[in-house]
Every structure is written in structure tokens, then in C-alpha cells.
Structure 1
Amino acid sequence: MRTLFLGLMALLAAAVPAQAQQARRLVVIDDEGFGLSHAMLLDAPDVEVLGITTVTGNVWANRATAMALKGVERMGRTVPVVQGATYPLVNSEALTERWEALYGKLIWKGAFMRQWVEPTQQSTPDYHRPDDPVDLPDGNPTTRPSPEIAANFLLRMVHEHPGQVTIIAMGPLTNLALAQRLDPAFAGLAKELVYMGGSLNPRQVLGSVSATQFAREFIHSPRREFNARFDPEAASIVSRSPWRHITVIPTDPSTATELTPALIARLRAVAPPALAAWIGALEPGFPMWDEIAVGVWLDPSIVTARDTAFVDYDTQFGPNYGDMLSWPAGYQPGIGEQRAELIRTIDPARLEALMRRLLARPAGRQASGGL
């Protein structure tokens, strides 16, 4: 009897870690670099980051991969970093220049960017070719990316963990579109998709020079947003894929946020030494696009207004190329558009509080318990 009892106790003890592991939220981050949003997810106590897939957007994919590897190293983590698509499905630098000649200048062009159209507080980004050697200002990573292709990694993760993987995409959706075209079961095997992209009707909320600059572009082009505009065809494919649930964080809530010098100082003050210097070197003046997306997923209570609609993106090469399209139920064209939850506004104070709690956690450690 005693032997049976001890055997049962051993089985129960072995089952506890398995249950705890099963309770963790599995996520793949798809993005074009490394930022505060990545640090939030890597330090969230109930989240297991299965990997980071990179894509060309703000920078070329090879540079984004180096940035992600460096960020993971800085946090003392061992998370696979998998390089993804170098080019959009159809769009290109030459096509973007032709579009601007016909329809007007874009404010931000990411990897295609050579200079700002008008003077700004933000620094002019360095221009690179897609195959230029990468030399990061804060030092190059010592680790190497996974030899896998991002689309294949995404497929492998959802097949290994069916119905459990959240994909949080904060750059152009090229990798996800490729995965869906390779395997039509891809979207349906994921638990959900959360992505930062698209635009409905953003309005200026803050009064700083930087906030005014980033809100002004929506006065004449309320439906245009960089991630979708960089690869409209991918955005459309992903929007019409059979996800179980889609949460869209458009630019609308971002106009109420800004990474100010004061906020950087507050975040740096609570961060461990491994992150504090990096946070202190972040360039201020930008809205907190990606941090909102991660914050909404980690703590839905930061959302103050949401809506639902059927969503797609304009893929016609005209003045509205890449613009978000949306319809209430019953008015959609019916060619595959999926119902999505749209985040309209958030509470910036609650977002900051969440960021401070997460960044205050020792880097590289994910303890159990709540946020």
C-alpha cells in the first residue's frame, strides 16, 4: 500500500510542472527588429515566446534579424530568431517611387526611406540595400539565426501546438501570407492573430510637436498605415484567411501615446541593468504602436473602446493602394473577409503601468504568477 501511495505521489508531482507549462500562453512574435514590445513579452511571467520571426519593414530583414538576436542576447534569453521575407509580395522600392510620383509623398517608407519629406524632430534613418552587411551601432550579436525560413517556422509551430499559438505581428504581414499560401490550414491551426496595422480614422490627442507630426498624416489619408501599405497584398491575404480570432490594433489608439524622454526615464529607472542602458538610448518622439499591440494582448483591461468589423486591404495600384477597408456585418463583399476585433482607444496610463511592471522583472527570468 505504501508503495502504491508513493507511486501516486510521484505521478502527481510529475504532473504539476506539465500543467503549469500547459497554462503558459504560447506566442510567436513576427516583426522587423526588437523593441520594448519584445522585452514586455519576453519578461511576461505567463508567456512562452516560441520564437521571433523577422520581416522587412522599417529595416531590411537581415538587419531586423541582427537586431532581434542582439535584443534576445541583451535579455539573457535563448529564443529562436528566424529570418523571413526580404521583399514584399508585389510592392517594391521602384513601385513606391512611381506611386509617389503619381499620388503624392509618403511620410514613412521604412527600408525604402532615404529622407524625411519635411524637417522633423526624428533623426533621418540610415539607408541600406537589402544585402548590405549589417553593423549595429550597439554591437553585433554573437549568436546566429535559425537556418529555417520564417514561414516554415510559423507552420511548424502551429502544427506542433494546434489551437495554442498566438501570433503577434507588428510589421508587414509578408511571412504570414507566405505561410498561408504554403499551407491553407495555417491560420486555422493558430489560436489567434493579433496584429498592429491598418487605420480607421485617427485623431490628434496629444499636443507635442512629435504627436502633431504623426497625427497630421491622417487628416488627408485616414485609412493609410505603413505596415499594410508596405505589403498590401500580404495584408489582404492574411485578412481573408480563416483565423479563429483576429485582433487588429490600427493606428487610431497610437495618437494618444508618445515615447517621451520622461517616459523613457521612468522605464529606465525600473529596468534591470541589462536593459536600462538600452532603454535610455531609445529615440523619443514616436507613438507606441507595437507596445499597444502587446499591451492589449497581455492585459485587455487597457482597452477603453473596441469594435468589430470585416476587414480587407486595397490591392489596386492607385491612390488608395494599401488602405484599410472595413464593413459592418452584412455589408462586406463576401470574398473571404474575416470578422476582426478593432481596438479604437486605450488607456495610456494603464499601458505604462503594465510596461513598468514587466520591465522591472529581472531580465531572463519568467516567474509564475500574475502580471
Structure 2
Amino acid sequence: MMWILLAVSPGTAHAADAKRKVIIDDEGFALMHLMLLESSEVDVVGITTVSGNTWANRATAMVLRGLEIAHRPDVPVVQGATYPLLNSEALTDRWEALYGKLTWKGAWMKQWVEPTAQSTPAYYGPDDPVNLPDGNPALKPAPEIAANFLIRMVHKYPGQITIVACGPLTNLALAQRLDPQFASLVGELVYMGGSLNPQQVLDNLQASQFAREFANSPRREFNARFDPEAASIVSHSPWRKLTVVPVDPSTATQRTPGLLRQMAKAAPPDVAAFISRLEPGFPLWDEIAAGYVLDPGMVTNEEDLYVDFDTQFGASYGDMLSWREHYQPGLGEQKAHVIRAIDPRRLEAVMVEAMAQGARRPR
């Protein structure tokens, strides 16, 4: 399938000498990272890692290896929080005994509750040695703590940095607690997390299986559920601009074999080989956040809401809370720009174009 890219021209309003400075805060390395690293529209000034889908040490190794593949050794990588602020594997086991099984538990995941098309992830401990399937990176992380790096960078570039966070928000909460000025110095925080009322859109096996996550618990989402206290702290922090990408728009998207082929065809050789090895079938959760940064025009439905997350240890622990104007509790929760729906074709075009821009970059 061929995509028409000329009509999209993501980010053309940004001059070449005024690239948007971006820090990626995430729990691994995948298409979202490549979109921002390969794009000519942004300048990735650092990547911080956090535990979520996997432990922070493994996520750091994955990012470093990804930067080697993308030929971007210039981007500093800083390891972040290994553990959530309060939540734990033992606490999650206790919660499941009281309130039922979670569909996805990230680093604490040992097996699926029922058969699924997705592969079963390997289980590791937080301090287990890291041996990546394709070999460990030669690059090393910066000798700094992620929260300190984030604070240092926003003081260096006040109001100029966009943070794109696609994992648990532990690093951001720690940075805000260490430096109450932190959030106010960030140009924009774009995070993927939370859930309002997602509905299955695509009619296929993978989409129906991912709908298990929200069909009966529409306010629950993994990134927030892994560290609810951090998500709540972030929700109460004084950001200049806060953009939230909940699960909702992702239900109309999918990492299809066709999309992966289109991206690989457009990408430089090493990146193309990496893309070709990716497992298809997943919704484009994080890619929506990166796509929004590159092309905000792909948003088709958005709303301003006050947002928070439930930190009471009960059946709704980690669930997203939201209010329209006048209905919020008024306890410091911040108004967020919430993306409710996007144009999936336009997102896919942005993803392919970012790879094409990377292919044109000197390596």
C-alpha cells in the first residue's frame, strides 16, 4: 500500500535552525524513538529510561543498542528509576488476589492469563544481568540520575524542551519533588498514559485481545497503574502545557506488517533491518505521542480536562480521573489537553516520512 506523503508535510512550520528540543522518557526502544531520532523536525537532546514494560537497566541497554543502530551516539542516555514510588510486585500480587487479574503487568509479568497472539515476555529481576538477543551495546549511559538530568536540561533550556513520556511517570515525579520549578520550566509535556472510555475499533483478533485491557475497566491503563502516585504528582505539577494521550485513540491504530514494510522501505539500512524484526499487531500507543509532536494536525478530536489518578489502594487503584471545567475538586490538579482521536492514516504517513528523513540524513 502506498501512502501519499506530500499532503501531510509534518512540522513544516519549524525552521531548520529552530528545531524543537525533545527529551524522550520511556521504558525501552521502538518505533516511537526512531520517529523522533530520524525526523529532521526535532532535536533529541537526551533519552531517560524508567522501569515499566521492563526494568530500567534493561531499558537502558535497549536504548543504547537502538542508538547504535540509528547511528546516534551523540544522544545521551540516562538511567532512571528502577522502582515505582510506592507500588511493588508484591503489592500488585496482593491487589490481584483481592480484585482480579491485570491483563498486563510489565516487568512483573510472568505469563498471560489466557491465550494471546502476542509472544510471552521473558521474566527478569531488577538486578539480573542484561544480555540482549542481538548483543549488548558498546555505548554506555551517562553517569547521572535521570531526574537530575531532566532538571539540569530544563534549567539550561527554559521553556524550550518538550518531554515525550511513554512509560510510567516516576522520573518526572521525582524531578518535580526535587525541584519545584521543574514542571514550570518544561515547554510541553506530552505523555502516553491513562484511559477514558476506549472502544474497540478494528475488527481483528489482535484488536479484540487488546480490548481485554479496557472492556471491563475503561479507566485503567498500564503506565499509570504501574506507578499511580507518580502519575498523580505529575497531574498536580504546574506545566506550561500538558498534553495527554490516553489509550482511547490507539484503538483505531495497529502496527501492521504492511506499515512495518513501508517504514523499512523508507528507512536507512540498519534502521530498516531493526524495523523488519519487530513483532506486528500492537496498537500504536507511543507512536501517537511522537506523531502528535511531529504533526499536531493529525488530531481529530481533543478536549481540555482536569486529570488525576486514583492513589487509594482499592479496586480502582491507578485509574484515571477526569473532570470538565467547574467540576474538578480544585486540589491542584492541572488542566490537560487530552487527545481523544486521531487520523490513523495521517499518523502512518508521519511515521514513514520520519524514516525517509532519516535516510536523507548524513550518517
In the other structure, the counterpart of 2:59 is 64
Looking at secondary structure, tell me which structure has more helix per residue: 1
1:36 to 8, 23, 31: 31
Amino acid aligned to 1:241: S
User: Could you tell me how far 1:365 is from its partner in structure 2?
Assistant: 2.7
What is aligned with 1:75?
70
On the 8 A contact 2:103/2:212 being kept in 1, the answer is no
Cα pair 2:202 2:252 within 8 Å, conserved: yes
- Mapped contact 1:50–1:80 kept (Cα < 8 A): yes
SS of the aligned residue for 1:286 comes to: coil
Residue-by-residue CA offset, 1:23-81 (whole Å, 9 max, x unaligned): 11111100001111111101121211110000000000000000000111111112000
| Structure-to-structure mapping, 1:78-227, within 5 angstroms | 78-227=74-223
Cα offset for 1:261?
A: 1.7
Q: Aligned partners of 1:247, 1:270: CA distance in 2, in Å?
A: 29
Give the structure 2 partner of residue 45 of structure 1: 40
Q: 1:294 aligns with which of 287, 290, 295?
A: 290
Counterpart of 1:210, as a letter, is Q
Mapped to 2, the partners of 1:362 and 1:313 lie a distance apart of 38
Distance 1:225 1:219 in 2: 12
Q: Name the SS for the 2:357 alignment partner.
A: coil
Contact 2:194 2:221 in 1 (8 A): yes
Report if aligned partners of 2:24, 2:46 keep a CA contact under 8 Å in 1: yes
1:103 CA displacement: 0.3
Counterparts of 2:224 and 2:191 in 1: how far apart (Å)? Answer: 11
Residue 214 of structure 2: SS of its match in structure 1?
helix
User: Is contact 1:89-1:174 (8 Å) kept?
Assistant: yes
Given that 2:306 and 2:336 are in contact with CA atoms closer than 8 Å, whether structure 1 keeps it comes out as yes
Task: Quote the Cα distance in structure 2 between the aligned partners of 1:199 and 1:233.
Answer: 16
Give distance in 1, aligned partners of 2:155 and 2:210: 40
1:315 positional shift: 0.1
Q: Does 1:321 align with 2:306?
A: no
Instruction: Pick from 267, 270, 275 the counterpart of residue 274 of structure 1.
Output: 270
> 1:20 Cα deviation (Å)?
6.5
The 1:363/1:155 distance shift into structure 2, 3 A limit, reads farther
Question: Would you say how many aligned residue pairs link Structure 1 and Structure 2?
Answer: 349
Distance in 1 separating the partners of 2:83 and 2:339? 29
Contact 1:232 1:315 in 2 (8 A): yes
Contact 1:268 1:280 in 2 (8 A): yes
Aligned CA-pair RMSD: 1.4
Structure 2 unaligned residues grouped into runs of 5+: 1-13
What secondary structure, in the 3-state scheme, does the structure 2 residue paired with 1:235 have? helix
2:236, 2:332 within 8 Å by CA — same for their partners in 1?
yes
Q: What does the per-residue CA deviation read over 1:65-111, in whole Å, with 9 as the maximum and x for residues that have no partner?
A: 00000111111112000000000000000000000000000000000
**TM-score with structure 1 length normalisation?**
0.92
Q: Per-residue CA shift, 1:207-255, capped at 9, x if unaligned? A: 1100111123312100000000000000000010000110000000000
Give the C-alpha shift of residue 263 in structure 1.
Answer: 1.8
Residue 358 of structure 2 aligns to a residue in which SS?
Answer: coil
Task: Deviation per CA, 1:99-132: give whole Å up to 9, x if none.
Answer: 0000000000000000000000101000000000
The amino acid across from 1:186 in the alignment is F
Distance in 1 of aligned mates of 2:51 and 2:336? 25
* Residue type of the alignment partner of 1:310: Y
Q: Residues 182 and 363 of structure 1: is their aligned pair in 2 closer, same or farther, counting only changes over 3 Å?
A: farther
The residue type paired with residue 167 of structure 1 is I
What is the letter of the counterpart of residue 76 of structure 1? H
Cα offset, 1:366, TM superposition: 7.7
Aligned CA distance change for structure 1 residues 22 and 184 (closer, same or farther; 3 Å): farther
1:257 to 245, 253, 256: 253
Runs of 4+ with >4 A deviation: 19-22
* Aligned pairs (5 A) from 1:323-342: 323-342=319-338
Indicate the percent of aligned positions where both proteins have the same amino acid: 68
Per-residue deviation at 1:21? 7.3
Distance 1:217 1:310, change over 3 A: same
Unaligned runs of 5+ in 1: 1-18
**Counterpart Cα distance in 2 of 1:307 and 1:166:** 20
Query: What's the TM-score once normalised by structure 2's chain length?
Result: 0.94
Q: Secondary structure at the match of 1:28?
A: strand
Answer yes or no: is the 8 Å Cα contact 1:57–1:110 preserved in 2.
Answer: yes
Larger Rg: 1
